[in-house]
Amino acid sequence: MPWRDPLKTRVVMDEMAIERAIARIAHEILERNKGTDRLVLLGIPTRGYHLALRLQKKIEEIEKATVPAGAVDATLYRDDLGIKKTQPSLKKMEIPISIDGKVIVMVDDVLYTGRTIRAAMNALMDFGRPLAIKLAVLVDRGHRELPIKADYIGKNLPTSAKEGVKLHLKEVDGVNEVVVTEED
Amino acid sequence: MKLKRKDLLGIEELDRSEIEQILSTAESFKEVSAREIKKVPTLRGKTVINLFYEPSTRTRTSFEIAAKRMSADAVNISVSTSSVTKGETLKDTAKNLEAMRPDCIVVRHSSSGTPQMLSKYVACSVVNAGDGAHEHPSQALLDMLTVKEKKGRIEGLKISIIGDITHSRVARSNIYGFTKLGAEVTVCGPPTMIPPGIEKLGCSVTTDMNDAIRGADVVMMLRIQMERQKESLFPSVREYSRLYGLDDARLNGAKNDVIILHPGPINRGVEISSEVADGPYSLILDQVTNGVAVRMAIFYMLLGGTREESHK
C-alpha cells in the first residue's frame, strides 16, 4: 500500500467502482465498434498498460474473443524533456501486431493536460497508419492544454489544478483505488 | 533517469547503479532500431560533434547513427582534412567548436586523458570514444549489454580478456565495468603485454591461455594493435597466434555455453580464427547492434532534460 497523508487524501473510487467502470468501458467499446473486429488495445505504461490488460480480459469474458493488447510508451515523444527538471525513465513499447488499418484504443489512467496522449499518438504514427485512434481513460480530471477528448471515460472528476489524482492498481501498488491528494 | 554528470569520460568514475541505468535504458532503445521508421524526436535541435583524431569505422558510425535516430544533428570531423593539419592545438579546436554551440562532443584521441582535458575547456557534454590506452566506456557498456542479454545476468560470471592488455582501453574499461557489476575478470596475454599492477583493478592475471578459457562464461579477444607495437613485444605474429589465438581446437576446452566477444576490427587468423569469429559462439555482430542502442542511451541520459536528480 502506497504511503499517504490521511488528512490530505481522499479515495474517490474504490476497487468495486474501478471494476464497474472497466466493465462499462468494455461494453461501450464493443457496442460502438460492433464487436472486436480490427480492435487493438494499447495502454500507456505503467498503469494504463495494466488497465489495457484488464479491459482485454473483460472483453474476453463478454465476447469470448481475445483482442490484441500492448503498450505504447510516449517518453521519447514528450514535449517537456528539456524543460522539466526530471528525466522520465523509458518504459516498454510493445506493439503486438501491425497497426495499419486497425482501430486503436489507447488506454491511460488519468487524463489531465492531454500532452501525454499527444506524445503517444505521435509515437503510434511511427508504427503505421491506424484506421482510427480512440482514447479510453479511467479518470478525466479536466484542465486540458491541448484539443484532446476521451471517447470512453470511467469517471469525470472535477479537480483543482493544485490537487493530484492518482490511480493505484494491485498489479503495481498492491491496492485498487483512485485517490485525490491536496498538494502543497 | 538522468546521469548526475555532464560527461561520460570513463567507466572508472561510474557507480554500479549508473551502469545499470544506462544498460536498462539501452535495452529500451533497442526497440527503436528494430522499427521500420528508426527515428524518435527526443533530441530534436541538439547538435553532436564527432571529433575523431584516430581512424574508426564502427564507433564513429555508431555514434552518428545513434544521434540521428534520436533526431539530433551529427557532424563528423575527420582530423586529416581539418585545421589540425595546419597545427591548431586541441584546446583551440575545442574552443572553436564550442563557439558553434554544440550540445555534445564525442572525442577519440591517441593520448590518454584527452577527453578529461577537453571537458574542462568546454561547457557542453563530452563523451569519450576512446583515449589512448586509458578507457573506451561506450565499448565496455555495449559489451556488458551483450553479455547481460545473452546470459541474463553479469553477477558471478567469469570473464576472460585475452590479448594485448597493456595497450587496450577496451580491456581497462571492461575490467572496471564487469568487476563493478560483480563478475570475475581474468586477463591473459604474453607477459610483455600485461602491465605490472593490473591486478590492482580487481582482476586476476594468467599467461596461459588454456587457463583463461577453462571455465570462462565469456571470452573477450582483443585485437593486436599493430599501430601501437612500437617495440616488438612478441617474436612474430605467427608465434603470437599459436600461443594466444582463439581457434576451434582452443575452444574445445571452454564451457558449452561460452560466448565470444571481440571489439573489432578483427585480424582474421591472428587473434581469432575465421571459424570462431563466424561460428555459433561468436556475438561479434550483436555487439555492433547493441553499440547503437548503448550510444542512444548515453545521449538520452546526458542530453535529454536538464542536469538534475530525478525524483521518480
pLDDT digits (tens, 9 = 90+) for A34-69: 999 999 999 999 999 999 999 999 999 999 999 999
Q: Which of A81, A91, A127 is opposite residue B304, by nearest beta carbon?
A: A81
As a whole number of angstroms, the distance between CA A63 and CA B148 comes to 41
Which residue do the cell numbers 601501437 mark? B228
> Percentage of chain A surpassing pLDDT 90?
84
**8-state DSSP, B247:** -
A87: pLDDT confidence band, cut at 50, 70 and 90? confident
The residue among B95, B65, B67 whose CA lies nearest residue B83 is B95
Higher pLDDT, A138 or A93: A138
Tell me the count of A-B CB pairs closer than 8 A.
57
- pLDDT category at B311 given cuts 50, 70, 90 is very low
**pLDDT, tens digit, for every residue of B106-144?**
999 999 999 999 999 999 999 999 999 999 999 999 999
Cα atoms found within 13 Å of the Cα of residue A175, Cβ hemisphere only: 12
Name the phi and psi angles at A182, rounded to 5.
-80, 125
The domains located in chain B, with CATH, are: 16-135+291-303 (3.40.50.1370), 137-288 (3.40.50.1370)
How does residue B229 score in pLDDT terms, banded at 50, 70 and 90? low
The residues facing A106 across adjacent strands are: A42, A135
Q: Are B270 and B276 in contact (CB under 8 A)?
A: no
Residues B157-213 have pLDDT tens digits of 999 999 999 999 999 999 999 999 999 999 999 999 999 999 999 999 999 999 999
Q: Mark yes or no for CB contact B306/A92 under 8 Å.
A: no
**ipTM associated with this complex:** 0.80
Are the beta carbons of B35 and A127 separated by less than 8 Å? yes
CB contact under 8 Å between A126 and B39, yes or no, is yes
Residue A172 in contact with partner chain B when CB distance is under 8 A: no
Question: Measured between alpha carbons, how far apart are the two ends of chain B, in Å?
Answer: 8
CB spacing of A87 vs B32 below 8 angstroms? no
Q: Which is it for the CA torsion B83, B88, B93, B96, positive or negative?
A: negative
- Please give the pLDDT value at position B2: 62
pLDDT of residue A26: 98
Q: What is the pLDDT of residues A20-43, one digit of tens each?
A: 999 999 999 999 999 999 999 999
Interface membership of B72 toward A (CB under 8 Å): no
Cite the DSSP H helix spans in chain B: 16-33, 58-69, 90-98, 114-121, 137-151, 169-180, 209-213, 237-244, 248-251, 274-277, 284-303
| One-letter amino acid for residue A19 of the chain | E
| pLDDT score for B96 | 93
Which of A76, A87, A126 is facing B305, going by the closest CB pair?
A: A87
Q: What residues in B contact A73, CB-CB < 8 Å?
A: 28
Asked if A92 and B28 come within 8 Å (Cβ–Cβ), the reply is yes
> What's the gap in Å between the CA of B64 and the closest CA on chain A?
18
Confidence of residue B233 (pLDDT cuts 50, 70, 90): confident
B16 to chain A nearest CA, in Å? 17
Tell if the CB–CB gap between A86 and B32 is shorter than 8 Å.
Answer: no
pLDDT band at B1 (very low <50, low <70, confident <90, very high): low
Task: Give the residue-averaged pLDDT of B48-55.
Answer: 94
Q: Is B310 a residue whose pLDDT tops 50?
A: no
Does B289 have pLDDT greater than 80?
yes
Spatial CA neighbour of A95 closest among A112, A120, A132, A64: A120
> In this complex, do A85 and B306 lie within 8 Å of one another by their Cβ atoms?
yes
Backbone angles phi, psi at B61, to 5 degrees: -60, -40
pLDDT exceeds cutoff 60 at A10: yes
Percent of chain B residues topping a pLDDT of 70 = 95
Report the alpha-carbon distance of residue B198 to residue B45 in Å, rounded.
43
What pLDDT score does A89 carry? 82
Position B306 scores a pLDDT of: 52
Task: Give the span between the Cα atoms of B28 and B293, in whole angstroms.
Answer: 8
User: What is the band of B304 on the pLDDT scale with cuts at 50, 70, 90?
Assistant: confident
Q: What is the pLDDT of residue B231?
A: 65
> Does residue A130 sit in helix, strand or coil?
coil
CB A160 within 8 A of CB A166: no
Domain extents in chain A: 16-157
Q: What is the pLDDT of residue A124?
A: 95
Minimal C-alpha gap between A92 and chain B (Å): 7
- Element counts in chain A: helices (H) and strands (E): 4, 8
Name residue A164's beta-bridge partners: A181
pLDDT digits (tens, 9 = 90+) for B58-104: 999 999 999 999 999 999 998 877 777 788 898 999 999 999 999 99
Q: What is the DSSP letter of B102?
A: -
Does B301 contact chain A (CB < 8 Å)? yes
**Higher confidence at residue B238 or residue A1?**
B238
Q: Are B165 and B212 in contact (CB under 8 A)?
A: no
| CATH classification for the domain delimited by A16-157, as one of 3.40.50.150, 3.40.50.300, 3.40.50.2020, 3.30.450.20 | 3.40.50.2020
